[in-house]
Structure 1
Amino acid sequence: MKRLHIHISVDDLDKSRAFYTALFGTEPTKEKADYLQWLIDDPAINFAISTGKSKRGLNHLGLQFDGDEAVAETEARLIAAGIAGEKQSGAQCCYAASNKYWVQDPQEVIWENYHTMEQIEVFGGDAFTGGVGCCQPTFSENGKWSTGGGC
């Protein structure tokens, strides 16, 4: 199964929780002090909101897969199409440990293609994102992926 993943950075978690709970008709499936997530089957979506980011609004989009093989297939399709990305193994981000393949679309929207192996108790931040947070690497103007300030 694939789920569309949408992550939005918000100012007020409580107000946003009320809005999205009303919109989706259900309470969040994961709740942390700075992060909420709704896993919904119809439509198949993994919708997350979090605070503490300098930029508000769309943080990134993605596809959540049930296994690493599906992530690798997506990576292979993107590479075959000439779309460069960045592999991230064992990421500890958004209260989950995941393997990921990041790409950026022509409008500079960052896409996270990933498989989550387990839930963890920390929001995250590793060398890939400069240790300052998680959710996405940055894509510099020279066309190279860089670390630091991803979220």
Structure 2
Amino acid sequence: MNVVKPHVSLNVTNIDQSVSFYEKAFGVAATKRRPGYAKFDLQAPSLNLTMQEAPRTGVNASHFGVQVASTEDVIEAKTRFEAVGLKTFTEEDTSCCFAVQDKVWIEDPDGNSWEVFVVKGDAAVMGDSPALKKDASSCCTPVGLSQKPEVQPSASSCCAPKTAG
């Protein structure tokens, strides 16, 4: 698998204040800015840091991930995860975080979500999930896989697996 860089997604209460802080901390401007969303695609340290506005819940990390170079790398990760008994959820050509992506999700024992993903291009919207219309913070945050044993991909999901049936 050709890992491009680690990915961290943060929930923040004020996107403008957070962008200002991280621009100062990293010494570079945000790579992408949209209403309620920002991305820093850093070379040194090698990091894909995104943030989206969300109400304070005591949980500041949205999810974690590893950006890879190709869809084949995503498929390789899925195969490896399933071979060792991990539950997975995949999305293809999903619009998430203003990008078109292929991805596979897993969840650790404490409910932390991890994605292995490839960015295939820009998207005009944060996501195309029906849940996004109700709660923008739900985009790019998967529902707990361990609590919902059967998940089915949805072409309209924005990083949020839906339960079957």
Deviation at 1:136, TM superposition (A): 2.4
1:62 to 54, 65, 69: 65
Does residue 139 of structure 1 match 2:141?
no
Match of 1:85 in 2: 88
Partners of 1:94 and 1:110 in 2: CA distance: 16
* Matched residue SS, 1:138: coil
TM-score by length of 1: 0.87
Rate the CA distance shift 1:90–1:131 in 2: closer, same or farther, 3 A. farther
Match of 2:107 in 1: 104
Match of 2:42 in 1: 40
Partners of 1:62 and 1:32 in 2: CA distance: 21
TM-score by length of 2: 0.80
| Aligned residue type for 1:63 | V
Deviation at 1:76, TM superposition (A): 1.1
Deviation at 1:145, TM superposition (A): 3.9
Maintained 8 Å contact 1:90/1:98: yes
Match of 2:51 in 1: 49
Partners of 2:116 and 2:159 in 1: CA distance: 19
Structure 1: tracts of 5 or more residues without a match: none
Deviation at 1:15, TM superposition (A): 1.1
Does residue 126 of structure 1 match 2:129?
yes
Q: Could you give the per-residue CA deviations for residues 42-90 of structure 1, whole angstroms, max 9, x where no partner exists?
A: 2211001111457451000001111001111111111111111101111
| Aligned residue type for 2:39 | Q
Rate the CA distance shift 1:148–1:32 in 2: closer, same or farther, 3 A. closer
Rate the CA distance shift 1:54–1:85 in 2: closer, same or farther, 3 A. farther
Deviation at 1:121, TM superposition (A): 1.1
> Counterparts of 1:15-34 in structure 2 under 5 Å?
15-34=17-36
* Matched residue SS, 2:63: strand
Match of 2:116 in 1: 113
Runs of 4+ in 1 over 3 A off after TM superposition: 52-56, 129-133, 142-150
Question: Would you say how many aligned residue pairs link Structure 1 and Structure 2?
Answer: 149
Q: Could you give the per-residue CA deviations for residues 75-131 of structure 1, whole angstroms, max 9, x where no partner exists?
A: 11111111111011111111011111011012210011111111011111336x686
| Aligned residue type for 2:40 | W
- After superposition, the CA RMSD in angstroms is 2.4
